[in-house]
Amino acid sequence: MTETSLTRYAWLSLTVAILTILLKLTAYFLTGSVGLLSDALESVVNVVGAALALWMIALAAKPPDEDHAYGHFKAEYFSSGIEGLLIIGAALSIIWESTNRLFHPHPIEAIPVGLLISGIATALNFATGLWLIHVGKEYHSVSLQANGKHLLTDVWTTVGVMVGLGIMQLTGQVWWDALLGLIMALHILWTGYHLVRDAALGLMDTALPEEERKAVCAILDRYNAEGAQYHALRTRQSGVRRFVSVHVLVPGAWTVHQGHQLLERIEAEIRSVLENVTVFTHLESLEDETSWQDQGLDRLY
């Protein structure tokens, strides 16, 4: 699936986010619950996050150009990182409002109606969040995964608020609303931190997962029997795109044609085991001393 086709999932997320915020704001105005207000505030962030994900996925789908020869795939990491920051901001606002309500309790009204409306919004977010995470993992879209996790964060927040309102309905203790708001805010902070961290790792060209690197090494090792060796293997992931570069050493007596054919086979095999991968190979002579001077990851001279 291409980045362009992934935009339809971002449109789904945006539509659900807008519908959800309307439901939650209705529940807040009916009840006056700080928990539901906090929940609605986070849904505002959901709308912003979904719109940002849509924009970044569309940007990532643009083909390479002279200024971006490796493509625009990293745009998705900006979406994921900014969404993480938005989640953290929402959590801090919830902590502020919940702390204020602990010291200045506010009566809650129409709890059953608020619970019903919040339940509908939660069901929408839960189904959409799980679907976005599934699609994001399947097609390696960090934007969709971040958006899905954001929606699930919203779900757990709403569940906590609903539990708080339920306990209030049974006990008549208003402070439960603020306490559950604080607890959910801490959970939201944790989710936001992970999104920001993962986005930072992606922008820093983190290597492919270990199992994928092992698969590449297994392919390269099979060519030892033909007299070829390799070193300076480098991998990185940029959004949905993977990149692999490696130096392949062959006997100096080989012709250029022989070496080229070998590299073509190696690149084809790597593409057969890794999706959305660009492979760069560099041919070197086993007998040339300079071939062994660039075994490390960073050759400066």
Please tell me the predicted confidence (pLDDT) of residue 1.
Answer: 47
The whole-number average pLDDT for the span 75-89 is 78
Report the distance separating Cα 122 and Cα 251, nearest Å.
Answer: 64
The mean of the pLDDT values for the chain is 79
Please tell me the predicted confidence (pLDDT) of residue 264.
Answer: 95
- pLDDT over 90 percentage in the chain: 19
Between strands 277-285 and 241-250, the pairing is parallel
Residue 120 has pLDDT above 50, yes or no: yes
Q: Is 268 exposed, middle or buried (0-12, 13-18, 19+ CB in 10 A)?
A: exposed
Count: domains in the chain: 2
Residue 301 lies in a domain: no
Residue 181 has pLDDT above 80, yes or no: no
Contact between 83 and 195 under an 8 Å Cβ cutoff? The reply is: yes
Q: 267 vs 141, which has greater pLDDT?
A: 267
Residue 105 banded pLDDT, cuts 50, 70, 90? low
pLDDT in tens, 194-249: 878 878 877 777 888 899 999 999 999 999 888 899 998 999 887 777 899 999 99
Question: What CATH number did the domain enclosing 58 receive?
Answer: 1.20.1510.10
Indicate the residue among 153, 180, 203 that finishes a domain: 203
Indicate the residue among 203, 226, 259 that finishes a domain: 203
Pair 178, 268 in one domain: no
pLDDT in tens, 26-38: 877 777 666 666 6
Crossing angle of the two packed helices 142-171 and 75-103, in degrees rounded to 10: 10
Residue 297 lies in a domain: no
Report the distance separating Cα 45 and Cα 188, nearest Å.
Answer: 12
Pair 270, 142 in one domain: no
How many other C-beta atoms can be found within 10 angstroms of the C-beta atom of residue 225?
A: 7
Which positions ≥6 away from 2 have C-beta within 8 Å?
Answer: 61
* Residue 297 identity (one-letter amino acid): L
Between strands 277-285 and 229-238, the pairing is unpaired
Domain of 80 in residue numbering reads as 3-203
Residue 228 lies in a domain: yes
Rg (CA), the chain: 26
Report the distance separating Cα 202 and Cα 207, nearest Å.
Answer: 9
Residue 39 has pLDDT above 70, yes or no: no
